[in-house]
Amino acid sequence: MPDSHETKNKIFTFREDVVPRTTRSVYLEEAVSQSIAGFKKRFTCNAIDVVVDIPANLTFTTNESLFHSAIKCLCEEAITNMPSGGELVFTSVVQDRALELEIADSRQGYLQSPWIYSNSEHQNETAVLQPIFQFVAIHGGLVKAQNCPEGGVAFTIHLPLAKALRSAA
């Protein structure tokens, strides 16, 4: 029988060959709104104001299931780290043939050491964020976590627009 450490590592390991290959073009604002809709009551109960500042016409091709899992993961992270309320802001920009989606919260704490993740090399260090790591790995992107100058933490998901999904053969 494996020890708990081995089991934990197996739970958080992902394989590109078992990820659903279904992708489609979606409006980013709409996809974010759908992902956070189930959190509306929790955001209200926790006094968290949510701002989605994304151009309505911005589209990208994605695996919707993985996208929703990644956004929901960041919502859970924000709720956990803002027990006294705050603000959660979703913004995006397209530059240099890439889409950047930033999810920033106004938590009181800060990251001890900001990081950039672009492969599975550090995936077990922050296992709670595994859905985000899987999403960016499959889409050939990266995620960066950093402290905001005005307080809080920002997660920036960087996705190349012209690159096909790694899972598509």
Give 10-53 pLDDT, tens digit per residue: 333 344 444 455 778 889 999 999 999 999 999 999 999 999 99
Q: Which residues are within 8 A (CB) of 59 and not within 5 positions of it... i.e. 6 or more apart?
A: 25, 26, 27, 28
| Cα–Cα distance measured from residue 142 to residue 100, given in angstroms and rounded to the nearest whole number | 10
Give 112-160 pLDDT, tens digit per residue: 665 656 554 544 446 678 888 888 888 888 888 888 888 899 999 998 8
Report the topology of domain 22-160.
Heat Shock Protein 90 (3.30.565)
At 109, is the pLDDT very low, low, confident or very high (cuts 50, 70, 90)? confident
| Distance, C-alpha 37 to centroid of its chain | 16
Domain ranges of the chain: 22-160
